[in-house]
Homo-oligomer: A and B are copies of this chain.
């Protein structure tokens, strides 16, 4: 992946703490790559004013205005359910291609397969990168991960979009600061954009979910002692749970970090699915791996962005009581309790 990318991030009408997952992940973990965000409904503000972080990155009203900040690529900044391209963005895409911006997309709908965009891109000599296009030579998983010496840690969660990627990246940074050789295996479009490699496991043909996870984990382990595999979905999610389950069986984590949002009691947009009690849900995850590899949940990562600080601290204490595990919000507070749990687990394995 080229290292001189300067993204204009497209989030028209969607830039916000919970509605522009890809934009937000990129701003949090690769802010140096983001020159501006395009959302006319927030134009004139800064990223920090809209999503709470991202400093002075400007929000602009149009592609033309964005061009003044010197981008060389347009990054599609959302990850909607089903991954379709929002048709109302078509004029913005035309303008971006006409301005010779490379297109980077993690949508399910491949931009390069769209006849209009493909023709326009050819005309202007623009490259389209569809990050979800999976490798064509994936294997069916068969436990090859068992040959890997590294400690494999997978983030799992009570729902989608609950902070699994963010937690993994905070833990990556925390472990790196302590001198650990750690790799982040990105499994979704944002994680891939941030790290520069990975496989979108939810975009592969269903038979190869675990095979993709297996290959990713093995590749990540080549130069690392600890591999953090980015989790996807949730075993309780009616739409995406198959991806979560396959990811578990392909990556065969030695340890898991359970991600949850204390204020969320049901699956997002699926109020009929109540999130099981944390302790029970953790036990279920361990049982799911039992026939393949004994695995333990070693910490809880809470997403408390919507709670006042005292309520957040309370929620963390309650999660620790309920599960008997170290817990924290690794974005809002010091990720050390989870980082140390991983270090202890890794040290115990090495013995």
A: residues with CB less than 8 A from B are 81-83, 108, 139-143, 146, 201-207, 209-211, 235-247, 249-250, 269-270, 272-276, 284, 287-288, 290-292
Partner of A270, one of B81, B143, B201, B275: B143
CA distance A269 to B139 in the complex (A): 15
Partner of A210, one of B139, B142, B241, B246: B241
The answer on a CB contact under 8 Å between A146 and B81 is no
Residues in B with CB closer than 8 Å to A245 are 235, 241-242, 244-246
Q: How far is the CB of A217 from chain B (nearest CB, A)?
A: 13
The answer on a CB contact under 8 Å between B274 and A238 is no
CA distance A270 to B214 in the complex (A): 15
Residues in B with CB closer than 8 Å to A276 are 290-291
The answer on a CB contact under 8 Å between A247 and B236 is no
Q: Which 3 residue pairs across A and B have the least CB separation, nearest first?
A: A242-B246, A245-B245, A140-B239
Copy total for this chain: 2
Assuming A143-B272, A206-B201, A206-B209, is B249 touching A242 (CB within 8 A)? yes
CA distance A81 to B142 in the complex (A): 11
Q: How far is the CB of A45 from chain B (nearest CB, A)?
A: 32
CA distance A246 to B236 in the complex (A): 11
CA distance A202 to B250 in the complex (A): 16
CA distance A209 to B241 in the complex (A): 9
Q: How far is the CB of A9 from chain B (nearest CB, A)?
A: 23
Residues in B with CB closer than 8 Å to A83 are 207
The answer on a CB contact under 8 Å between A202 and B207 is yes
The closest CB in chain B to the CB of A269 belongs to B142
Residues in B with CB closer than 8 Å to A205 are 108, 202-206
The answer on a CB contact under 8 Å between A207 and B140 is no
Partner of A140, one of B236, B240, B284: B240
The answer on a CB contact under 8 Å between B207 and A108 is yes
CA distance A189 to B290 in the complex (A): 30
Extra A-B contacts (10), CB below 8 Å, given A143-B273, A241-B245, A288-B288? A140-B240, A142-B238, A202-B205, A206-B242, A207-B239, A210-B238, A238-B292, A242-B243, A242-B247, A276-B291
CA distance A20 to B249 in the complex (A): 27
Residues in B with CB closer than 8 Å to A241 are 210, 245-246, 249
Assuming A242-B210, A243-B246, is B204 touching A235 (CB within 8 A)? no
